[in-house]
Amino acid sequence: MTHPVPATPTTAANAPAPLDPLDRRIVAALQIDGRASWRRIADAIGEPERKVARRGLRLLESGDVAVRGLVVRGETVILRMTCRPGSVRDAAVAAARRADCIFSYALAGPVDCVAELQFPQGQLGPLMLDEVPALPGLFSQSVSPVLRYFRTVHEWSPGILDAGEIEALGGPSGTVDEIGLPDVEVGPEEWAILGALAEDGRRTHEDLAAVAGVSVATARRRVETLTRDGHVSIRAAVEPALLGLPVEALLWIRTRPDEVEKVGRLLVESPLVRYAAVVMGEHQLLVDVTQPSKAALYEFLTASPWVRHVEAVQSHLVVDAFKRSGVEFPTSSRRRS
């Protein structure tokens, strides 16, 4: 089911102005397949190829939209941080600059910052005991391992395209529920390709072949295999406000153990849920949701089907995002300029 994003949402004071409808559709196409050609995108959304290419290149060159390969390097944890006064930005930026950070947000509420970090198998201890405490401005920390995903931030697609358009782009990526590294070994050539895709997910097969020292045909096959096996996800990352969704919140949800699966599946029925994961700790689910207004967020928190199956919800407004889907974005100081 598609839930179109409103064309004229209620925009937060410090949020960037939303893109026009065509630009949103191009971004939505890149969220389905970050390596799709401009011709394929144009055919899927019914627009002239030259127009789509011109708009698409402008979006990428502006830095508002970035296509990156998010490489799976291990298991993940959610890091919650409280900070000394005046040091929230320093802590969130330091977390974002870690190569193993997937997202880093500053929040309004008793928790100042939240980040998702990857760690190699067996390295949770050093991460929690040595690396995290060294972050600047940190007052206290809480580390919660992720047990399962209903949706990751790199899968998110906000319902801008209809089912036919999505199918023309290769279809939705589906729900990812596994954590950790895929059970497929990666050699030096594959790692070279993964590193290049992490820098620019739209690098040509010719470029990737040169980086890895293989033929173009081999590079093409390696990209397809690495994507299919779950080593990398290549999609567009963008500020939700640019898609008309300026209100974003993180929810910690507590429910009965036998209701976790039901609640998770009900949550991801909404395309405005960017992320939903089962985590260890007092709350079983962590959810990232975007909405066009605070009134819409209120309705989501009080009238959605999933609400009937939960015991408690802690909600925190996202004040600033320093990293999304492994991509560092301009902070609020630049967005207000």
Angstrom distances, CA of residue 147 to CA of 71, 81, 181, 268: 19, 20, 13, 17
Res 332 pLDDT > 60 = no
E strand residue ranges, the chain: 65-71, 75-83, 101-108, 113-119, 138-151, 232-238, 247-254, 273-279, 285-291, 312-324, 327-328
* pLDDT reported for residue 268: 96
Tell me the average pLDDT across 310-317: 96
* pLDDT reported for residue 327: 92
pLDDT tier for residue 289 given thresholds of 50, 70 and 90: very high
What are the residues whose beta carbons fall under 8 Å from the beta carbon of 121, sequence distance 6 or more?
74, 75, 180, 181
Counting Cα atoms < 13 Å in the Cβ hemisphere of 269 gives: 10
Res 37 pLDDT > 50 = yes
* pLDDT reported for residue 185: 76
CA-based nearest residue to 232, from 174, 168, 181: 181
Could you say which DSSP state residue 249 is in?
E
Q: How far apart are CA 290 and CA 238, in angstroms?
A: 12
Res 24 pLDDT > 50 = yes
pLDDT tier for residue 285 given thresholds of 50, 70 and 90: very high
Tell me the average pLDDT across 182-188: 77
Res 331 pLDDT > 60 = no
CA torsion sign for 262, 149, 244, 97 is positive
pLDDT digits (tens, 9 = 90+) for 151-183: 998 889 899 999 999 999 987 754 455 566 666
* pLDDT reported for residue 72: 87
Say which residue, 198 or 16, is predicted with more confidence: 198
* pLDDT reported for residue 176: 53
pLDDT digits (tens, 9 = 90+) for 44-65: 999 999 999 999 999 999 999 9
pLDDT digits (tens, 9 = 90+) for 5-16: 444 433 344 567
Which of 107-116, 182-191, 292-301, 318-327 has the weakest average pLDDT? 182-191
Q: How far apart are CA 21 and CA 46, in angstroms?
A: 13
* pLDDT reported for residue 335: 44
Tell me the average pLDDT across 191-212: 95
Say which residue, 177 or 289, is predicted with more confidence: 289
pTM of the shown model: 0.88
Res 228 pLDDT > 90 = no
Contact status, residue 327 vs residue 267, Cβ threshold 8 Å? no
Say which residue, 329 or 312, is predicted with more confidence: 312
Res 187 pLDDT > 80 = yes
* pLDDT reported for residue 7: 42
* pLDDT reported for residue 5: 46
Q: How many CB atoms lie within 10 A of CB 232?
A: 22
Q: Which percentage of the chain shows pLDDT scores above 70?
A: 90
